[in-house]
Structure 1
Amino acid sequence: MHLALHPVPASPASPAHEAPAAGRYDPIAAATDLAARLRATAVERDRAGGHAASERASIGAAGLLALSVPREFGGQGADWKTIADVVRIVARADGALAHLLGFHHLQVATVRLLGSARQQRRLLTDTAERRLFWGNAVNPLDKRLVATPTAGGYILAGAKGFASGATGSDRVCAWDPLASAALVAVLPTNHPGIAVQADWDAFGQRQTDSGTVTFANVHLAEDDVLQPAGRVPTPRATLRSQVAQLVMTNVYLGLAEGAFEAARGYLRTDARPWFASSLDVAGATDDPYVQHRFGQFRLLVRPAQALADAAAAELDDAFARGAHLTVRERGEVALAVAEAKVLAHKAAIEIGSQMFELTGARSTAARHGFDRFWRNARVQTLHDPVDYTLRDIGRHALDGTLPEPTAYS
């Protein structure tokens, strides 16, 4: 079962950071301003880890939580290209907070793709009006959470691990043993019997508010079930995994861009030319070897940016098709997202590691915190094996087979 923990309202915004009124709101400008504030504390927070309560409130105050909520329900009605750009901008400063923001919009998309008209109106209107921040307990590989049918719904018992954003949020996923299939449902995180254990202790992405969510005989009403177990999903419904993969792609890409900018800034202001340089260079950026390697960095980032933008545009087209979306069209979106994801993955890992070969030993000082780009990328890119994504791309290149819908493709 996939259970969405629906959100807890963000803390009231301070007047200085209150989102502009609809019609004057620029999400890119809001994300850029937010990223600047997150960047100022990113190194310290990365060291400390823990719950990102204040930062989540800042995301809500910036007006970024209602981006994917359609206008008819009081949201901004932004397209996926804009949402992807916002996630990427935030990831340049803080990969963990970008993950939280992106997965919030993934849960909103889940309601849009799977919920009935009545469920959408209730849940999405509430999201926009109360500035709700969605988390999840939707790990499809963890089947410890069992949904047992009962009068008027289900009884949930068990646990879900790797629950991104669960600390301070609201939404879940459980396995129905009778139908041997997933059901997707929504519950408040503070529902009686639900407990969130903040046991995430990875060496990167330390403030994704992830953990294990346990359920002790929690009643799930039928009205909170978005997708009953055993219902065959439509091509449109399976776009959920493409939203997830596009979010991942832009977190990776933002981390690559953040590492690129950090390295460039350090080279311009702090790095020294290597003594053996054959030229009388004024600074590190005049060294032809540094220029050569930075050109390689650029050629890692630019193709990834182009394919990520193209994939977001294809996802927008697929959403616009609605119920008319075909299996083939859905597969073409999956292929576009897969290609973008692989390039973004490579850019994040390689730039995050190789930047130190250009910036030198002094750049490894803890006060700079440059290692967080690689650590965050390394942890995030293990979400699902890139080799299986490459297999899907290679299979299509060989015989035209499009990726089949799964929770990861």
Structure 2
Amino acid sequence: MSRTEDTAWFEPLNAVLHEWAKTAAARDKAGGTAFHERRLLRESGLLGLSLPVEFGGQGAAWSTTLDVVRRMAQVDSSLAHLFAFHHLQLATIRLFGSDAQNHRWLGETVAQGWFWGNALNPLDKSTRALPDANGYLFDGRKSFCSGARDSDQLLASAFDDDGRLLIGVTPTNRAGITVLDDWDNMGQRQTDSGTVVFERVPIATDELLLQPGPLSSPFATLRPLLAQSILSHIYLGIGEGALQAARDATLAQTRPWIASSAARPADDPYVLAHFGDFWIALEGARLLVERAMQAFDRAWSRGLALTEDERGEVAVAVAASKVAAARAGLEVAHRMFEVTGARSTTAALRLDRFWRNVRVHTLHDPIDYKVRELGEWALNSRVPKPSFYS
């Protein structure tokens, strides 16, 4: 049983997922922005799930919040991505911002029903922070800005003349910001992960996350581990969604092969072996993901008392869970057609969306480097060095 079933959010979550499922295949074909489905999220109350009660949120643990992400990814991984990155932006404020900024933006998020978008890409150094009398002017183009379209607030990054990374908060509709509708990839087609153009956009000093600032303590470096954990849950959810789709198709329409001694596919030993492989891969990944989240919740509860060694142990657990979830998701989404048969390849079903989605998303940052980090731990007892990707 999912831990979300023990919360007050089981009913609203199920209601949202029920509506999403009706149009998931058609929306995958159409691409673009899922305005209606995003509105359902706004109305569900789930946008405040991870926020502390003191700010009007529900105070859910990160393990619970990401379990919701996983459930969403089983149905629609694009919208799961948007929901997860909304909460990642809020976590960034909590980790990098001051108490005053937390009260200001987290409280308003609940009061105003804000949906947050992402324009924070630390690998993209084309956006400059130009000194201004009241702070800085952000100028440039940001790529892979998931959820920026139809958002209310943005977390944006730029580099100053000294090469320092600055992260600021701005309303999406501020003068000088243009959100382009240019995301048209083969997978994750409704994440709106396109381009945002900043043309001398004013960011006041009190809109910059400077105290304590990015990656300023072991606790602050939990931000990249949360981001990596989000990816693990999305990969796992896609794999679980693919397994359910394969099961449904196999039981409903697959016919036994002429050489099979089984009267129905559900009794064919080769079909059963494939489903056994799928289950083993996903179950192993699930256990690693849940173990990593238990460690993450403990680390988060430590706050500023968290040590580098404790953080390192969480990083190893998160890396292992991400690699396992990526491999399991890719395997099941790819091999599902070996059990569903030729009829399941009809374009109307768009069952290939599971593979396209997990294939695109697992390119976020190279899995090979996560495996190398784990090798460093296994052989040399070195934990991953904190960065925006580890």
TM-score range, shorter chain: over 0.9
Aligned with 1:185 (options 168, 179, 183) = 168
Residues 228 and 81 of structure 1: is their aligned pair in 2 closer, same or farther, counting only changes over 3 Å? closer
* TM-score, reference length from structure 1: 0.91
- Structure 1 runs not aligned, ≥5 long: 1-23
Which amino acid is the alignment partner of residue 218 of structure 2? P
C-alpha distance in structure 1 between counterparts of 2:18 and 2:242, whole Å: 15
More deviation, 171-180/138-147: 171-180
SS of the residue aligned with 1:236? coil
The match for 1:88 is 70
Residues 408 and 232 of structure 1: is their aligned pair in 2 closer, same or farther, counting only changes over 3 Å? closer
Aligned with 1:343 (options 319, 324, 327) = 324
C-alpha distance in structure 1 between counterparts of 2:218 and 2:190, whole Å: 34
Alignment of 1:288-307 (within 5 A): 288-307=269-288
The match for 1:321 is 302
C-alpha distance in structure 1 between counterparts of 2:256 and 2:23, whole Å: 30
Render the CA deviation track for 1:296-319: whole Å, top value 9, x for unaligned. Answer: 100100011111111111111111
Render the CA deviation track for 1:3-40: whole Å, top value 9, x for unaligned. Answer: xxxxxxxxxxxxxxxxxxxxx96223432332222111
Displacement of 1:378 in angstroms is 0.4
Alignment of 1:178-327 (within 5 A): 178-227=161-210, 233-277=216-260, 279=261, 281-327=262-308
Displacement of 1:231 in angstroms is 6.8
Displacement of 1:173 in angstroms is 3.0
C-alpha contact (below 8 Å) 1:249/1:340 kept by paired residues: yes
Aligned: 1:62 with 2:44: yes
SS of the residue aligned with 2:310? helix
The match for 1:33 is 15
C-alpha contact (below 8 Å) 1:135/1:165 kept by paired residues: yes
C-alpha distance in structure 2 between counterparts of 1:231 and 1:48, whole Å: 37
Displacement of 1:205 in angstroms is 0.3
Which amino acid is the alignment partner of residue 161 of structure 1? S
Displacement of 1:112 in angstroms is 0.9
Render the CA deviation track for 1:98-156: whole Å, top value 9, x for unaligned. Answer: 00001001001001111111100110011111111110101111111100122221011
The match for 1:18 is none
Residues 228 and 155 of structure 1: is their aligned pair in 2 closer, same or farther, counting only changes over 3 Å? farther
Aligned: 1:123 with 2:105: yes
Residues 369 and 91 of structure 1: is their aligned pair in 2 closer, same or farther, counting only changes over 3 Å? same
Which amino acid is the alignment partner of residue 407 of structure 1? F
More deviation, 175-184/389-398: 175-184
Identity of aligned residues (%): 48
Residues 229 and 64 of structure 1: is their aligned pair in 2 closer, same or farther, counting only changes over 3 Å? closer
Displacement of 1:214 in angstroms is 0.7
C-alpha distance in structure 2 between counterparts of 1:209 and 1:276, whole Å: 47
C-alpha contact (below 8 Å) 2:316/2:374 kept by paired residues: yes
The match for 1:6 is none
Alignment of 1:131-170 (within 5 A): 131-169=113-151, 170=153
C-alpha contact (below 8 Å) 2:97/2:212 kept by paired residues: no
C-alpha contact (below 8 Å) 2:20/2:76 kept by paired residues: yes
C-alpha contact (below 8 Å) 1:111/1:119 kept by paired residues: yes
C-alpha contact (below 8 Å) 1:134/1:171 kept by paired residues: yes
C-alpha distance in structure 1 between counterparts of 2:293 and 2:376, whole Å: 22
* TM-score, reference length from structure 2: 0.96
C-alpha contact (below 8 Å) 1:176/1:229 kept by paired residues: no
C-alpha distance in structure 1 between counterparts of 2:12 and 2:369, whole Å: 36
The match for 1:114 is 96
The match for 2:3 is none
C-alpha contact (below 8 Å) 1:67/1:75 kept by paired residues: yes
C-alpha distance in structure 1 between counterparts of 2:158 and 2:361, whole Å: 25
Which amino acid is the alignment partner of residue 294 of structure 2? A
SS of the residue aligned with 1:156? strand
Which amino acid is the alignment partner of residue 222 of structure 1? T
Residues 390 and 349 of structure 1: is their aligned pair in 2 closer, same or farther, counting only changes over 3 Å? same
Which amino acid is the alignment partner of residue 111 of structure 1? I
Which amino acid is the alignment partner of residue 92 of structure 1? Q
SS of the residue aligned with 1:184? strand
C-alpha contact (below 8 Å) 1:253/1:344 kept by paired residues: yes
Which amino acid is the alignment partner of residue 187 of structure 2? G
Displacement of 1:230 in angstroms is 8.2
C-alpha distance in structure 2 between counterparts of 1:269 and 1:174, whole Å: 49
Residues 33 and 232 of structure 1: is their aligned pair in 2 closer, same or farther, counting only changes over 3 Å? closer
Which amino acid is the alignment partner of residue 299 of structure 2? A
Residues 232 and 73 of structure 1: is their aligned pair in 2 closer, same or farther, counting only changes over 3 Å? closer
Aligned: 1:44 with 2:42: no
Displacement of 1:202 in angstroms is 0.7
SS of the residue aligned with 1:157? strand
Residues 71 and 152 of structure 1: is their aligned pair in 2 closer, same or farther, counting only changes over 3 Å? same
Aligned-residue CA RMSD (Å): 1.5
C-alpha distance in structure 2 between counterparts of 1:363 and 1:286, whole Å: 19
Which amino acid is the alignment partner of residue 266 of structure 1? A
C-alpha distance in structure 1 between counterparts of 2:148 and 2:17, whole Å: 22
The match for 1:330 is 311
SS of the residue aligned with 2:48? coil
